[in-house]
Amino acid sequence: MLTELSRRAFGLSALAPLLRGASPRPLFNGKDFSGWRKAGNGIWSIEDSLVAGRFDQAKPGPGYLMTEEEFTDFDLKVEYWISKEGNSGVYVREPKRAWGPKGDDRPGFGAAGGYEVQIDYNDQKNYTGALYNFSPATKHTGGEEQWIAMRVLCEGPRIRVWSAGELVNDFSPSRCLKGVIGLQIHGGKPHDHIVKFRSIEVTV
């Protein structure tokens, strides 16, 4: 469960009226990947009850970890840690389909794609909190090699993103109103970056 410090960092005073009173539930049990599906490449593991994503040197390309369950309106909270020059993301409203590591088969791409909330402190066009290639982040918050709280609130056609307690994106209309939630490890060029996730909770 989230710590009280983490709850303040998520900016919980901005809860949507339709979600007030609802209880958050964990999406990751800290033991195995029950309720999740791996796709693309990349290596996903569980280390000290955390989700860790790495590039697969033997099989280059991005890797995805997607929920089996689809969601419409929801309030997602997750904490992430990313190594220096790392590149990752959180997917929301990504329709269930066959995902691959190239072209429009990638989550967030193509007419059938959802959205990737970027985790990257080096890409000035798609900085952390950006909806990748759709809406840039309005502020630079957080940083590498530290735990950062991220919150994504999807309500009707509107998607809002908080990073380190600050609202950094407010986007509408959403082209997708239902889909899975997912995690990504970037796989463009070979690298040894790592991304970690913990305290993954959703309120519906």
Tokens 């029950």, located at residue: 34
pLDDT of residue 19: 55
Provide the sign of the torsion angle of the four alpha carbons 87, 47, 160, 164, taken in this order.
negative
Contact assessment for residue 172 and residue 159, using Cβ atoms and an 8 Å cutoff: yes
Q: What pTM was estimated for this model as a whole?
A: 0.90
**What's the mean pLDDT when you consider all of the chain?**
91
Q: Write down the pLDDT at residue 5.
A: 44
DSSP E strands in 20-68: the ranges are 25-26, 36-40, 43-47, 50-54, 63-67
Q: In order of start, what are the domains of the chain with their CATH numbers?
A: 4-203 (2.60.120.560)
Place of tokens 């899975």: 180
With tokens 């000290």, the residue in question is 48
| Tokens found for residue 65 | 């970890």
pLDDT for the residue 131: 98
Low-confidence ranges of the chain (pLDDT < 70): 1-21
Q: Residues 32-75: pLDDT tens digits? A: 999 999 999 999 999 999 999 999 998 989 999 999 999 999 99
Give residue 11's pLDDT. Answer: 52
